Amino acid sequence: MLTLAVIVPLLGALALAALPLDAARARPVATAVAGVPLALLLLVWATYDASGGFSAQAEMPWIPSLGIAWRVGVDGMSLSLALVSAVIFVAAIAWPIRVSDARAYHAWMLFLAGVSTGLFVTLDLVLFYVFFDLSLVGMYFLVGRWGHGDAQAAALKFFVYTLAGSLLILVGIIVLALSMPDLTFDMRAIIAAPPLSGPVAGLVLLALVAGFGIKTPVFPLHTWLPPAHVNAPGPVSAILAGVLLKMGAYGLVRVALQMVPEAFARHALPIALLGLASILWGALVACAQDNLKRRIAYTSVNHMGYVVLGVAVAGSGLGPEAARQIALTGAVVEMVAHGLITGALFLVAGAIWQRASDHDMGHFGGLAGPAPRLAGLATLAAFASLGLPGLAGFVAELHVFLGAFAVYPWIAAAGLLGILLTAALFLSMLRQVFFGELPATRADFADLTRRETAILGALLALVVLIGVWPAWLLSLIDAGSLVPTLGPGG
Amino acid sequence: MPLADLAPEIAVLVTAVLALLAAMALPQPRHGWCAGVALAGLAVAAGLALSQAGLRQTTFSGTFALDGATASARLLILGLTALSVGLSPAWFATDRRHGEVYAMLLFSALGAMAMAGAADLMQLVMGVLLSSVTGYVLAAYHRDWAISLEAGMKYFLVGALANALLVIGVVLVMGIAGGPGYAALGSLPRDPLAVTGLALVLAGLLFKLGAVPAHPWVPDVAEGAPVPAAAFLTTVPKVAAAVALYRLVEVVPDEAAPLRLLLGLVAVATMTLGNLCALAQDDLRRLIGWSSVSQTGYALMAVAVAGALPALIGFLAAYAFANVAALAVVAHLRGRTRIADWRGLGRSHPAALAALALAFLSFVGVPPLAGFLGKLALFAATLEAGLWWLALAAAANTVISLAYYLRVLGPALLSHPEAEAAVMGRSTAITLGAATAALLALTAAWAPVWPLLPEAVLP
C-alpha cells in the first residue's frame, strides 16, 4: 500500500513527461495522480494499528549483501507527516498557476510528490538517502526552470548547499550501518539497538545534526533558504517550506535522536541552543525584510527553531519523562502545522505575484478592499503562524514550551521572545499589504478565484481543526514511543 | 603452451590486423566497414572472455592472471572499446586515414588487457607501453589541428617520462625481489631501494590512470583528441591501470612499503585538484577531462583500503560508462565544446541532454544512479577501514563537483536556446543510446551483479 503511494506519482511523472498530453489537461491529470497517495495514506491511517511499532510494513530485497532493501512502514510521526505532505502536494498541484511547459512542470511536481512520500514512509537508511537526494534534484529543476529573478543561481546554491548536508548524512548512516553486528541499513534494527557509543557516536551525531540542520534549516546553516524561496514560483515555495524542510526535521528525530540517543542526550544542550538561535535570528531577520516572500521564508527559520528546540528537549534525558514527550509531540505538531500554515502563506504570496509580479511590501497596501477573500485567508494564515490560540500553531508551540520549561527553563523563556517578534512581524506585514491606503496602480487587483479560495480554505480549515480539536493528531503522533528511554544525563 | 588462455587477447589482436588490412584494401569512403570488423571481433573476444570468467589460475609461467579481476577488466575494456568504435565512423568520415583508427583502438585495447591481467612486472611494462604508444597516436590523430597535436605531444611527453620511471622502478624492484613475478614480491624486504622502485612503478601506473602527479595530459587529451579517442583514452587505460595497481598493492607486504597510505594521499590530491581545476573551465571537453581526473581520485580510494576490489570495479564501470556517454553527447553534437554554446540545448535536443544530465548526475553520485551505488560502496569500504579522512575528503569534493556539473547542466536545461545546433548522425545517436543504456542497466542490475564481482585478486 505504501509502496503504491510512492510508485504511483513517480509513474505519473514519467507518463506526463513522455505522453503527448494537451498542456491544459496536465494540471487536472497531475492533481488526480497526486490524490492517489493521499487516498492510500488515508486508507493506511484507517487501518493503523496504534499499539506502537511500525504499521503497514512491506519489505523486498534490493542489495542483500549490503543489507539494503525496499522497506516501508509508518509510525504515528511519519504517517502524519506523509499525510500532510500529500495534502500540500494536492493543494500545490491543483493551484492554478500560469506556467510555460505545463507538462514538464507537473511531471516534476509529481516526481517530487512520490519522492517526498517515499522519504517519510521508508524504513531503510539508504532509501531514505536516495529520496532525500532525489528531492534536491526535483526542487533544483522546479526552482531553476520555473522560478523568476535570478532563479538559476538560487537553485544552484540550494542544490550545492543541501548536497553538502546530505553527504554528511551519508557518511553518518554508513558508519551507523557498519557498526551494527550484521551490516544492515534497516531503521527498525538500528532504532531497537542503537549501536554507537563514545566519541564515534558524538562525531556521527555531529555529521547528522549538521546535515539535517542544513535542510531544516538551522541557524547558521539557513542562508540557502531565502533566495530559493524568493525566486521559486508560489506553489513550489509552498512545497519547499511545507514538505522539504520537514525532511530535515524528520531526519533529526528519526535518525539523530532515535539512532544515536546516547550521544544526543550528551549534546542536547548545544542543539537546544541552536534551536533558540534559529528562533530568535529567524524572527529578527524576518522583521527587517521588505520582500513578502523573504519575510515568510525567515519565519520558517523561526518556526523550525521551535521544532529543533522540542526535539532537543525530548532527547536531553533530563527532567520528567512526560515533559520530554510533550516537547516531542509539540515538535511534530509544529512540523504538521508549519507545513499547512506556511504552505498557505506561500500560496498567498504566489497569488500576489501572479497578479502583480512584485513581492515588495512597500508597493502594496489596502488590498483588503479589492481582494477581501485573499485578505481574509491571509490574515487567518498569519494569525495561525504567530500562534493565536484556537489555531494549529498555538497547539504546537504550547507543547514545545511546556516541555522546554521543565528541562531548559532559561532557553524556553528566551524563546518566548521569538513568539513576540513573530506576532509583530506578521501584524506589520498584514498592515502593509492588506490595510491602509490602496495605491492607485493596484485598483484593479483581482481577488482570489473560486478555485484558489477553495484550496486555501481547505488548508486553513485543517489548521483550524487542529487548533480546536487536536486530540486526534496528538493520539496519532504518540510521541511516547519516539522518546528514547535513557537514564537522566544519558 | 596454453594458448587458449589468452584467446580474448588473441581475438583482439587478429581483429586489429584484419581491420588494418581492410583499411589498406578499401577505398576511403568505405573505411566505415572497418568499424563492423572491429565490432564483430570485439564481440567474439567478449564471448571468449565470458567463457573464461570462472577461471582462477595464472598462465604462461605465472606471468598472466586469469581471475575475476581480469575477467571484469576484459569485459569492461571490450565494451568501452566497442562504444568508442561506434562513435568513430561519423567522426572520422572525412579523415584520410579513417580506417587505421580502428586498428589503433584495438591495439590500445590489447595493451590495456595485457596490463589488467599482468602478474609479472615485465608483462606489466609491456602492457603499459603498448597502451601508451597507441594512445599517443590516437590523441594526435587530427594532425592538422594544433590543439590535437598539443594533446598528443603533452600525452607523449608526460608518458615518456612516466614510462621511463616505470622501467627504472621495475628494474630496481626486480633487483631486490630477485625476479619479475608477483609471487616474488610477496617477500619483498623493507629496503629503501625497493621503496624507491615501487614508487617509480606507481608513477607509471598513475600516469595511465591520470592521477596526480601524472595527470596533466588528461584535460588536454579530452579537449584536443578526436572525441571518440578521448572517450577511449579517458576510460580504457584507466580501468586497466586501476586493476593493475590493485594487483600490485595487494602483493606488496605492508611492511615493505606503505603503498596504501601513499595512494590514499594521492587519491585526496587527485580528486581535489581535479575538482578545483574543473571549476574554472569554460570548455566542456576540458571540464570532462578534469572531472575524469577527480573521478580517478575517488577510484583510488578503493585501492587505498584492503579488500575493496568489488567497490573498485563497480565504481570504475559506473564512471567509465558515464564518461563515454558524456563524450558521446559531445560527439553527437559535433564536438560542440564551449559551455556557453550549450545554453538551452535541452529544449532542442532533449534526449541528448537528458543523457548528459544522467551521466553528470551519476558522476556526482545522485541516487539511485550507478555512480551513487559505486560511491556508496567506496564510502562503505573506506569507513569500514577507518579512513574517515578519506571519506570526508571525497564527500567535500563531491559537493565541489556538483557546482561545475550544474554550471553546464543549469543553462543547458533551464535556459532558452539561442542558436541551432547540428548533430552528427545516426551512428553517434545509437552509440550514445548504447552508452546511456549501459549506465542505466548497470544501475538496475547492480544488485544481481554485485555478488558476482570478484572478492580478491590471485595472490
Q: Which helix (H) or strand (E) holds A62?
A: strand A55-63
Interface contact flag, A63 B379, Cβ < 8 Å: no
The whole-angstrom separation of Cα A408 and Cα B45 is 71
Residue A62 has its nearest CB partner, among B395, B414, B447, at B447
The whole-angstrom separation of Cα B434 and Cα A78 is 41
Query: Can you tell me whether residue B179 is helix, strand or coil?
Result: coil
More confident: B303 or A48: B303
Give yes or no: residues A308 and A432 share one domain.
yes
The whole-angstrom separation of Cα B390 and Cα B382 is 7
Cα radius of gyration (chain A): 21
- Model confidence band, residue B1 (pLDDT cutoffs 50, 70, 90): low
Looking at the complex, report in whole angstroms how far the Cα of residue A144 sits from the nearest Cα belonging to chain B: 6
Instruction: State pLDDT tens for residues B203-234.
Output: 999 999 999 899 999 999 999 999 999 999 99
Q: Pairing relation of β-strands A68-74 and A55-63?
A: antiparallel
C-alpha distances in angstroms, B235 versus B322, B330, B352?
Answer: 10, 16, 20
* Cβ(A216)–Cβ(A307) below 8 Å: yes
- Model confidence band, residue A97 (pLDDT cutoffs 50, 70, 90): confident
Interface contact flag, A133 B413, Cβ < 8 Å: no
- Model confidence band, residue A368 (pLDDT cutoffs 50, 70, 90): confident
Instruction: State pLDDT tens for residues B355-375.
Output: 999 999 999 999 889 999 999
* Cβ(A112)–Cβ(A92) below 8 Å: no
Give yes or no: residues A237 and A292 share one domain.
no
Give yes or no: residues A222 and A301 share one domain.
no
Helices and strands, counts by H and E, chain B? 20, 2
Give yes or no: residues A252 and A390 share one domain.
no
Residue B126, beta-bridge partner list = none
Interface contact flag, B366 A133, Cβ < 8 Å: yes
- Model confidence band, residue A490 (pLDDT cutoffs 50, 70, 90): very low
Contacts for A7 with CB less than 8 Å, ≥ 6 apart: A114
Give yes or no: residues A246 and A286 share one domain.
no
Which of A402, A433, A429, A223 lies closest to A330, judged by CA? A402
Per the structure, the complete domain to which residue A166 belongs is given by 1-265
Helices and strands, counts by H and E, chain A? 21, 2
Interface contact flag, A171 B402, Cβ < 8 Å: no
| Burial letters A313-342, b for 16+ CB under 10 A, else e | bbbbbbbeeebbbbbbbbbbbbbbbbbbbb
Name residue, grid cell 486526534: A472
Residue B405 near chain A (CB below 8 Å): no
Pick the range with the lowest mean pLDDT from A408-417, A430-439, B287-296, B393-402: A430-439
Instruction: Over range B260-269, report the average pLDDT.
Output: 94
Query: Can you tell me whether residue A71 is helix, strand or coil?
Result: strand
Could you tell me which chain A residue has the CA closest to the CA of B311?
A66
The whole-angstrom separation of Cα B315 and Cα A384 is 50
Which of A317, A324, A490, A307 lies closest to A406, judged by CA? A324
Instruction: Over range B54-58, report the average pLDDT.
Output: 88
Looking at the complex, report in whole angstroms how far the Cα of residue B228 sits from the nearest Cα belonging to chain A: 30
To 10 degrees, the CA torsion angle through B208, B163, B277, A144? -20
CB atoms closer than 10 angstroms to residue B319: 29
Interface contact flag, A64 B447, Cβ < 8 Å: yes
Instruction: State pLDDT tens for residues B58-94.
Output: 898 889 999 999 999 999 999 999 999 999 999 999 9
Residue A171 has its nearest CB partner, among B366, B395, B446, at B395
Which of B93, B112, B33, B107 lies closest to B226, judged by CA? B93
Instruction: Over range A206-225, report the average pLDDT.
Output: 91
> B277 is written with which cell numbers?
581545476
The whole-angstrom separation of Cα B87 and Cα B308 is 33
Q: Which residues of A touch B450 (CB under 8 A)?
A: 63, 65-66
The whole-angstrom separation of Cα A389 and Cα A402 is 15
Instruction: Over range B152-181, report the average pLDDT.
Output: 94
Looking at the complex, report in whole angstroms how far the Cα of residue B82 sits from the nearest Cα belonging to chain A: 29
Query: Can you tell me whether residue B137 is helix, strand or coil?
Result: helix
Instruction: Over range B256-274, report the average pLDDT.
Output: 93
The whole-angstrom separation of Cα B51 and Cα B444 is 24
The whole-angstrom separation of Cα A174 and Cα B382 is 10
Q: Which residues of A touch B367 (CB under 8 A)?
A: 126, 129-130, 133-134
Give yes or no: residues A318 and A461 share one domain.
yes
Query: Can you tell me whether residue A326 is helix, strand or coil?
Result: helix
Query: At which of A265, A282, A310 does a domain end?
Result: A265
Instruction: Over range A434-452, report the average pLDDT.
Output: 86
Query: At which of A265, A288, A318 does a domain end?
Result: A265
> B221 is written with which cell numbers?
587529451
pLDDT of residue A487: 43
Could you tell me which chain A residue has the CA closest to the CA of B397?
A164
Environment class of A199 (CB within 10 Å of its CB; exposed 0-12, middle 13-18, buried 19+): exposed
Give yes or no: residues A261 and A271 share one domain.
no
Cα A382–Cα A384–Cα A388 angle in degrees, nearest 5: 110
Give yes or no: residues A115 and A233 share one domain.
yes
Q: In the predicted model, is pLDDT for residue A471 greater than 90?
A: no
**Ranges of H-type helices in B118-258:** 121-139, 146-177, 182-185, 192-209, 217-224, 227-233, 236-251
The whole-angstrom separation of Cα A430 and Cα A419 is 17
Give yes or no: residues A213 and A272 share one domain.
no
Query: Can you tell me whether residue B151 is helix, strand or coil?
Result: helix
> B229 is written with which cell numbers?
579517442
pLDDT of residue B166: 96
Q: Which residues of A touch B368 (CB under 8 A)?
A: 130, 134
Give yes or no: residues A139 and A237 share one domain.
yes
Interface contact flag, B366 A137, Cβ < 8 Å: yes
The whole-angstrom separation of Cα A122 and Cα B148 is 51
Q: Which residues of B touch A129 (CB under 8 A)?
A: 367
- Provide, rounded to the nearest whole percent, the portion of chain A with pLDDT above 90: 64
What is the 3 state secondary structure string of A192-213?
HCCCCCHHHHHHHHHHHHHHHH
Q: Pairing relation of β-strands A68-74 and B57-59?
A: unpaired
Interface contact flag, A65 B450, Cβ < 8 Å: yes
**Ranges of H-type helices in B333-425:** 345-348, 350-364, 370-384, 388-414
Q: In the predicted model, is pLDDT for residue A86 greater than 70?
A: yes
Mean per-residue pLDDT over chain A, rounded: 90
The whole-angstrom separation of Cα A202 and Cα A262 is 9
**Structural domains counted in chain A:** 2
* Cβ(A359)–Cβ(A291) below 8 Å: yes
Name residue, grid cell 499525510: A83
- Provide, rounded to the nearest whole percent, the portion of chain B with pLDDT above 70: 100
Query: Can you tell me whether residue B243 is helix, strand or coil?
Result: helix
- Residue B54 identity (one-letter amino acid): G
Could you tell me which chain A residue has the CA closest to the CA of B347?
A101
Query: Can you tell me whether residue B105 is helix, strand or coil?
Result: helix
Interface contact flag, A171 B383, Cβ < 8 Å: yes
Give yes or no: residues A64 and A201 share one domain.
yes
Instruction: State pLDDT tens for residues B406-419.
Output: 999 988 888 887 77
Residue B437 near chain A (CB below 8 Å): no
The whole-angstrom separation of Cα A341 and Cα A246 is 13
Query: Can you tell me whether residue A279 is helix, strand or coil?
Result: helix
- Residue A318 identity (one-letter amino acid): L
Give yes or no: residues A431 and A319 share one domain.
yes
Which of A305, A297, A344, A335 lies closest to A82, judged by CA? A335
A489: left (phi over 0), alpha (psi -120 to 50) or beta: left
Residues 440-459 of B with CB under 8 A from A: 446-447, 450-451
pLDDT of residue A438: 85
Q: How many CB pairs under 8 A join A and B?
A: 85
Q: In the predicted model, is pLDDT for residue A20 greater than 60?
A: yes
pLDDT of residue B187: 85
The whole-angstrom separation of Cα B50 and Cα B104 is 24
Q: In the predicted model, is pLDDT for residue A401 greater than 50?
A: yes
Query: At which of A265, A283, A315 does a domain end?
Result: A265
Chain A residues in contact with chain B using a Cβ-Cβ cutoff of 8 Å: 61-66, 126, 129-130, 133-134, 136-137, 140-141, 144-145, 151-152, 155-156, 159-160, 163-164, 167-168, 170-171, 174-175, 177-178, 203
